[in-house]
Amino acid sequence: MSDEILRLRKVLATMGGGTGRRYSLAMRMRVRTAATRMRADGTGWQAIGKEMGIPHETVRRFCADKKGDDFVPVEVATLASTGMVVLVTPNGFRVEGIAVAEAAELIRQLS
């Protein structure tokens, strides 16, 4: 168990138990960050919850709750000769030679 998980577990233990326990945004983000790292290493939700000392469904829900992550930066570059645009997503996907309206629709469908 990592030092961060041990510190997190101690803080979570002081919060008490029970249904409807309230977690601050900062605490939800700490749990989410630690759980995301553990998931990247292949750890399952139940094991993560057990290590943190909280229900695995709570951990999973915190990771799924991405308030503030809904919008990502988008750059639209116009090709001078054709009036078409090149769309490059934050994940690196590139679509060239489409109209602005088509790019907007594609972004809407991918959201």
Domain presence at residue 20? yes
Residue 70 falls inside a structural domain:
no
Average pLDDT over residues 24-44: 89
Same-domain pairing of 39 and 81: no
Domain limits at 8?
3-64
**Domain annotation covers residue 69:** no
52 and 105 together in one domain: no
The CATH number of the domain holding residue 36 is: 1.10.10
Specify the pLDDT at position 27: 86
Q: Judge if 7 and 50 occupy the same domain.
A: yes
Residues 88 and 44 placed together within one structural domain of the fold: no
Q: Which residue bears the tokens 């979570």?
A: 12
Q: Quote the tokens at residue 93.
A: 């996907």
Q: How far lies 40's CA from each of 33, 36, 57, 59, in Å?
A: 11, 6, 18, 14
Predicted confidence at residue 51, as pLDDT, reads 92
93 shares its domain with 58 = no
Q: Are residues 43 and 82 in the same domain?
A: no
Q: How many domains does the chain have?
A: 2
Give the number of other Cβ atoms within 10 Å of residue 50's Cβ: 14
Same-domain pairing of 51 and 88: no
Q: How far apart are CA 30 and CA 98, in angstroms?
A: 41
Mean pLDDT throughout 49-54? 90
Q: How far apart are CA 17 and CA 36, in angstroms?
A: 23
Q: Beta-carbon neighbour count of residue 66 at 10 Å? A: 9
**Pair 79, 40 in one domain:** no
DSSP 83: S
Over residues 7-32, mean pLDDT: 80
Range 87-102 average pLDDT? 81
Q: What is the identity of the amino acid at 38?
A: M
